Structure 1
Amino acid sequence: MELKSTLYSVANGIATITLARPARMNAWTGRMHTEYRHSLEQAEADPAVRVVVVTGEGRAFCAGADMQALEGHAAKGGYDSGTTADIPTPGFGVRPEFDQNFAYHFGLTKPVIAALNGAAAGVGLVLACYADIRFAVPGAKLTTAHGRFNMPAEYGLSWLLPRIVGLARANDLLMSSRVFLTDEAYEMGLINRLVSKEDLMTEVMAYARQLADSVAPHSMAVTKRQIYVDQHRDVGSSVAEADRLLSEMVAEPDYKESVRAWLDKRKADWRWPGK
């Protein structure tokens, strides 16, 4: 696929997806969503990729839906996603709950880190919230935005946000659609780390590299799956599944390699899902 509104690159085991419509503050379009899914699909299929980083080009992460698209919805009298039936489906097929817009992130095997280089509104905030880890610059504006446009909370954010920041804080952000800053978001636990604009990508890449170097890839994939599947089941089922996985994974070559590397005080040479 020819990328027109995003950029995709892979270096040192890290895939970087950049929203690249800086003149429009990386406003979201159907084309951008299609390209984003395509890039995620490429990253999932590439055994050399261990971590995915998502960021924006220019002064914003993603300013939300493109206003021209919103005007088009009003003119048509209905919503049009701007995507086609053959849009890529990364993360699909794991659980029915995950086979939906943005919820497909929960079906991915590789961690996604959002590097918020600037403002994130509406679907831009949704995208950030579906990432597993969030870094951000101080003082950037965030908002759920939907309330001012007579829209519902978008893409499952009413399910996800209370699980990240708690019900009381989520109610405030969702019901008011108010603007808040990344500094406040950090205090409420929505942002994992605040980093200066100059150092953002350096720190994000260092963290991504740490994940790639210090965590076995199968362990990462299984742990991510446990985290999001466990949101849909009881603690007893979680324990039983963990016990089953433990029995399976200690029989794998990467477990033996991990033990040897630890004893030898060297970097492990993990092979899952195959080299």
Structure 2
Amino acid sequence: MELKVTKYEIDDGVATVWFHRPGRGNSWTSRMNAEYRWLMDTIDRDPRVRVVVLTGSGDQFCVGADAKALEFYTETEKDYADTVDPAALAQPGTGVHEEFEHDLVWHWGLRVPVIAAINGACAGIAAAIASFCDLRYAAEGIKFTTSTPRLGLPSEYGLSWVLPRIVGTTNAADILFTGRVVRSEELMRMGFLNGLYPREGFLDEVYRTARMIADQVSPAAITSAKRQLYADLLSHSVGGAIEHSKDLIGVMMRQPDFKEGVAAYAEKRRPRFAPGA
């Protein structure tokens, strides 16, 4: 696919994906949706990649839906669902869990962990995308808002489900009902973020975590843990989680990564895991 509003690179196991409309605040469009899905599907299939960092070009992460796209919906009689049908688009993260087959939830079905590196304003659908990433880091002083209450719209793309599970019902109600601008420092206190860093050198700090994952963590183990985390969150069965983990332990103890991990531990060195499947 020709990339016009996104870009990416792969460096030593770490893929970086950029929302790339710097003159428009990296605002979201149907083209960006198509490119982003294609990119994430392609990257997830590349065995060289062990972790993805998602960020925005320039000083913004993504300011939400493009204003022209919003204006279109005030003038058309078309049903919204028909205009965003993803059937013809790439289908990342599929075949893992039936609940992961939906928009944005597909992040949870990816083999690789996805780190949202929120380098600037994050609004609207971008707030939902960040929420469905696995880890979230932000620069100091950035602005975050769902926007929808001020646009006469409902909580979008599963935020009413995922936000309470990240920040709790009280904080989620505040964010979703008011649509107010929340600074990254407050997001950190709420538990939305895994880390908060100065703007200068922000991505360098995020890459420290990404490189640690790429260099020291078994790709098979992190894929398993990721899928366990979200499937168990949906199942609400602690006993089932325990029994399933025991089954997985039995399988993974027969894999090369376990042998290498034990050897590295005994020899007090970094493990040398093979690329992911």
**Fold in common (TM above 0.5):** yes
From 97, 100, 108, the equivalent of 1:98 is: 100
**CA offsets per residue over residues 155-209 of structure 1, 9 Å max, x none?**
1110000000001110111111111111100111111111111211101111100
RMSD of aligned C-alpha atoms? 1.3
Written as runs of structure 1 = structure 2, the 5 A alignment for 1:188-227 is 188-227=190-229
| Residue of structure 1 in register with 2:21 after alignment | 21
Matched, 1:263 2:262: no
**CA offsets per residue over residues 37-80 of structure 1, 9 Å max, x none?**
11111111111100000000112100001110011111113426
Conserved 8 A contact 1:254-1:272: no
Written as runs of structure 1 = structure 2, the 5 A alignment for 1:103-142 is 103-142=105-144
Output the CA distance in 1 between the equivalents of 2:59 and 2:43. 25
Q: How many correspondences in the alignment?
A: 274
> What runs of 5+ residues in structure 1 fail to find an aligned partner?
none
Conserved 8 A contact 1:30-1:83: no
Matched, 1:3 2:7: no
Does the residue aligned with 1:41 lie in a helix, a strand or coil?
helix
From 168, 172, 175, the equivalent of 2:174 is: 172
State the Cα distance separating 1:84 from its structure 2 match: 5.6
Conserved 8 A contact 1:29-1:82: no
Could you tell me the percent identity over the aligned residues?
Answer: 43
Conserved 8 A contact 2:48-2:276: no
The aligned amino acid for 2:250 is: S
Output the CA distance in 1 between the equivalents of 2:272 and 2:20. 35
Conserved 8 A contact 2:19-2:57: yes
Output the CA distance in 2 between the equivalents of 1:242 and 1:179. 40
The aligned amino acid for 2:50 is: R
State the Cα distance separating 1:110 from its structure 2 match: 0.7
Output the CA distance in 1 between the equivalents of 2:61 and 2:228. 29
The aligned amino acid for 2:53 is: V
Does the residue aligned with 1:85 lie in a helix, a strand or coil?
helix
**CA offsets per residue over residues 205-249 of structure 1, 9 Å max, x none?**
111000112211110000000110011111111111011101111
| Residue of structure 1 in register with 2:158 after alignment | 156
Does the residue aligned with 2:7 lie in a helix, a strand or coil?
strand
> What runs of 5+ residues in structure 2 fail to find an aligned partner?
none
| Residue of structure 1 in register with 2:239 after alignment | 236
